[in-house]
Chain A
Amino acid sequence: MNDMRLTERTVDATDIKIAARKVQVFYGTTHAIKDVDVDILDKTVTAFIGPSGCGKSTFLRCINRMNDTIDICRVEGDILLDGEDIYDKKVDPVQLRARVGMVFQKPNPFPKSIYDNVAYGPKIHGQVKNKAELDEIVEASLRKAALWNEVKDRLDAPGTGLSGGQQQRLCIARAVATSPEVLLMDEPCSALDPIATAQVEELIDELRENFSVVIVTHSMQQAARVSQRTAFFHLGNLVEFGETGQIFTNPRDPRTESYITGRIG
């Protein structure tokens, strides 16, 4: 663990956005996440990699308390957002999720118009005073998601009518519209074709300017392409966490090396 601290200093990012300490997750009697400590930095893309079932998605869903919606799921330990424990009793997950947005594996636009999809978050959180302000946010979000030029003439068309890649970018626009501080992405490209994947990856890189991005991915190439820092999960344990370049070129843990070289996975 001390080694990890060393690599951290080499990253040129500023502050710690999210700090997780001794996080345990249980599904019923299954111990899904064991003793995970992670610091996620602001304005950085952090990638979670690891074989299927290693707990990376589960851990991601802890960060905005999406696991609350699953009855049998129990989370222990501390996860701090800007120093505040998000699992504190006083915290309302609804307020938390406005600050920690999420994009899912499969594009899941609501069966509404493109405009209404993007406007959904700001509306429910009451972040706008009038229509003009909302228009502004919708446009800005769609631009951030690199979708504006494709859909600006058909904002009233249903979001479900877009292509897969466009749908996923719409979901990203929807997530950034509430101006979150952290954006969680759960394998955002796994349902997309290579061209759409390239577009979304490019977008993730741009999003880094404003947000702290955490991305779960199956593809090590993707992690290498988009992230500055990488965490490797294995069987519910955080095996290694460090600068992406270091993880891929010079892994310290033999398990990481086996995974990267394709021996486990």
Chain B
Amino acid sequence: MTLGLLAALVLVLAIGGFFLGRQRALSTAKGDLRKLHSLPGYYGQTVALFTAVPAFAFMVFWLFAQPALIETRVAKLLPGEEHLDLVMSDVRKIAEGLDLLVARGMLSNATVSDMRADLSDVRSRMGDVGIALGSNVKPAVFQAAKRYRALNNMGHTGMTVAVLAAALLGFGFAFMRIRPEFRARNVSESFVKVLLIAASLVAIATTVGIVLSLVFETINFFKIYPAADFFLSLTWNPKFGGGSELGIWPLIWGTLYVSLIALAVAVPIGLFAAIYLAEYASKKLRAIAKPLLEILAGIPTIVYGLFALITVGPMLRDYFAEPMGLGTSSSSVMTAGLVMGIMIIPFVSSLSDDIINAVPQSLRDGSYGLGATQSETVKQVILPAALPGIVGAILLAASRAIGETMIVVLGAGAAAKLSLNPFEAMTTVTVKIVSQLTGDTEFASPETLVAFALGLTLFGFTLILNIVALVIVRKYREQYE
């Protein structure tokens, strides 16, 4: 039974449960609504919730637990394998191939269990169904694959049975409890509340998922590549034949250089724009210019990337870099920084605008009353008062810049370099995460796993920036509330 069908079945049970429960409540009260504790719909709702929710929760849990359980058991069949990850991916491919063969009627389940890798040409049969294997299949691996397939099928059946059982049990339990005095509304409301709490935990689960997946693979990386080299080496030179040098510094330098240029563009423009719109602009101008600037934040980053690639890059090369003898590359730190700067203007301007508007009018009056001009008031009273909030806004913008991917992928280049020349192509942490993780990825080589260490570095960096910024902005808001 496919997952979709199973889910549909549970849903049908739940919907049926709603009507049956409602019916039963009415009949126990002999049609007299006043005898019921709750409205009849609540009895139905209780049955539906008890039917569907535990069953679905069970299903999701099973789906997540099954792969790990099966893999550990299959791995025991493969003692002494050096690259367990690689072998396991073969096992999975073969199992998938066997499934396909059976599904197309080219093999029967009985022949599969009699098949032996040393007797039949597994590799070519796999080729028939479009599964490419790198080498001939070792008997142990083939046995493992058969076991894997069997366990998977068993697990699948087990799940179907278990989920249906959970649904029916829940149905029966809730259905039997229906009496006129049963507090159906309270029960179903508590149930809904549990669901609401579960939904708000998704955010926590996401963070936990991010941290676990990053940390777990980073540990794997440091098992095969020395951490000291990663953090201290000044060269980044991955080689797929082995002997890579994976020092993070050139990437960090590129990231910071690009972000610095981006901030150098965005902070003055964003800040002055915010000041102008908040303090000087007429209502009309503000109503036009503010949304226009905010459009910049709504444009997807790939658009900026293309802009860097086809417009800004060639322009900088032709009018600045080449005449000044600074380089011949159209991808450069300057290209990416400039375009990224445009992108983060609204991050600086919008938040700063809010913050400047939160400065109480009485401070402006105080300053004007003393004979200060508007710009003196802005510079000496409003900005100092708004400074913490503006710093928070800039930190958030910096965090955006550091984590931005598409602009640097298309605009900054791919060469890891430690150079001061802004017209030279350099690369960033995010670019390397993309290049190390796109295409076919085998999770055994340091060249792939390094992406997780880079990801963890990036996550840590932006996390600190975000939290500091959030705390500052929050404190600031409280001050004027």
Contact = CB atoms under 8 A, between A and B. Distances in A.
Direct interface between A and B, CB < 8 A: yes
Interface of A: 64, 66, 69, 93-98, 101-104, 106, 108-112, 120-121, 124-125, 171, 174-175, 178
Contacts of A95: 371
B371 A104 contact: no
A42 B282 CA distance: 39
Given A69-B368, A125-B371, A106 B385 contact: no
Interface in B320-345: none
B372 interface: yes
Interface range, B side: 10 to 19
Interface in B361-385: 362-373, 376, 380-381, 384-385
Given A110-B381, A110-B385, A124 B362 contact: no
A99 to B, nearest CB: 8
B360 interface: yes
A216 B366 CA distance: 17
Given A108-B360, A110-B385, A101 B370 contact: yes
SS class, residues of chain B in contact with chain A: helix
Given A64-B369, A69-B365, A103-B369, 20 more contacts: A66-B369, A95-B371, A97-B370, A98-B371, A102-B365, A104-B362, A108-B362, A108-B363, A108-B365, A110-B367, A110-B384, A111-B385, A120-B370, A120-B372, A121-B370, A121-B371, A121-B372, A124-B380, A125-B371, A175-B370
B362 A94 contact: no
B381 A66 contact: no
A94 B373 contact: yes
A103 B369 CA distance: 8
B370 A66 contact: no
22 contacts: A66-B365, A66-B368, A66-B369, A69-B364, A96-B371, A97-B369, A103-B369, A108-B363, A109-B366, A110-B384, A110-B385, A111-B363, A112-B384, A120-B370, A121-B370, A121-B371, A124-B370, A124-B371, A124-B372, A125-B371, A178-B370, A178-B371
B380 A171 contact: no
A108 B366 contact: yes
Contacts of A106: 362
Interface in B340-364: 360, 362-364
Given A106-B362, A108-B363, A110-B363, A97 B371 contact: yes
A262 to B, nearest CB: 31
Contacts of B373: 94, 124
